[in-house]
Amino acid sequence: MRVCVCVCFIVRCAKNPQLYFARRLNAAMKGVGTDEDTLIRIVVGRSEASLSATLAKCLIILRDQIGRRTPETNFDNNLCSTSTLEAG
């Protein structure tokens, strides 16, 4: 089982290294606190050009996660403001 998981990580990293490391950065920063060891390992291990591409992918992932939460809040706010306008 562990061998299969390791092979999957290797294949993901080989196919798209920036996306792989962006997901690792996202997972390291998710939740309470951060996984400093993973953050340091990724930042130190990547070259300057590769790190900027990795950070760009990470920002896309974060923007997508925020975007999934935002429409629900906007819908509730729009609904409240619409019902207030109709009542007045």
For residue 22, give the nearest of 14, 13, 33 by alpha carbon: 13
How many Å apart are CA 87 and CA 37, to the nearest integer?
Answer: 55
Phi/psi of residue 54, each to 5°? Answer: -65, -45
* Domain spans in the chain, listed from the N-terminal domain onward: 2-87
What does the pLDDT profile of the chain (88 residues) look like in tens digits?
A: 688 888 888 888 888 888 888 888 888 888 777 888 888 888 888 777 788 888 888 888 888 877 776 655 554 444 444 444 444 4
Right CATH for 2-87 from 2.40.70, 1.10.220, 1.10.530, 2.60.120 = 1.10.220
